Amino acid sequence: MTIPAVIAFGDSIVDNGNNNNLTTLVKCNFPPYGTDFIHQIPTGRFSNGKTPADLIAEKLGIKELLPAYLDPTLLDNDLPTGVTFASGSSGYDPQTSQIASVIPMMQQLELFKEYLRKIKGLVGEERSSFILSNSLFLVVAGSDDLANTYFTFRLREAQYDINSYTDLMLQSATDFIKELYKLGARKIAVFNVPPIGCLPSQRTLGGGGLLRVCAEPYNQAALLYNTKLSNMISSIGTRFSLDQKARVVYIDVYTQLFDIIMNPTKYGLEVVDRGCCGTGTIEMIILCNKYSSTCSNHSSYLFWDSFHPTEKGYKILVDELIQTYLPRFF
């Protein structure tokens, strides 16, 4: 079972520092982010430590950290084992990345094309073709479209009801996966949207005032999109069935994260309704900064800020997901 590289696209969940040098507010290359990272360095990872992109590469025995493609210190010998092109606050809806001034999904593919040219120059045509067809590709997007563009900023509400908006997201996701396949990717893991209504910030904004319960309309929207995504991936799988190497796998993060939120003690967690940073109810990115206090026991919290999990939370998720889905790629 040889997976030579992990290559990631999407949003902040797998952005390991691509936003650092962009002119955007969506960055986290400052404390307290990175508090539990190597040498306590804030690298632009939206967590206290590693992200799922790192943890998956590590679990597969490829390397300990998956570097950001736009990291100015990136070395040529890092390229053959994979990088991440993800950009925090990106999404399938082009408007999502525009609001935040971050890298759109389709532009991430342009960076990937540049990466492919570099790889060919480094290892030659035959080896680069092997890397491409055997690597694990992670596609993690959709949360920012629903949580930010649709529900928080309400930028699409006048044009689309939630059914037609999730259709727009789906069309863009379909185009992305087809283009990735066309470029040579054969093992593609497509993550669904988690229960965004239960993220601490969305509880605060849409969860009934002081009660801060999970915002049910947000979760229902995620489930609607996820059903469509799952159906689309089944249909694409059928279309690619003549290609024996092709595996496009739907990764159900929603069910797993919801179970952790509903049964925290089962997973060794205590606090799931607020983040560790500041009050934990709204602080994220620039609001979670060096002036923010943090909780004393990071490993008892599911969330680091009000939107992103702790390294402990990510480890629980990644362990479960690898066990469930990795065999499907072979």
Q: What angle do CA 40, 41, 42 make, to 5 degrees?
A: 120
Which one of 87, 144, 145, 308 is the catalytic residue?
Answer: 308
* Owner of token pair 């489930």: 223
Contact of 299 with 288, CB cutoff 8 Å:
no
On the 0-12 / 13-18 / 19+ scale of CB atoms within 10 A, 117 is exposed
Residue 308 annotated to the active site: yes
Which one of 71, 93, 273, 305 is the catalytic residue?
Answer: 305
Which one of 11, 12, 87, 143 is the catalytic residue?
Answer: 12
Residue 39 annotated to the active site: no
Q: Catalytic amino acids?
A: 12, 305, 308
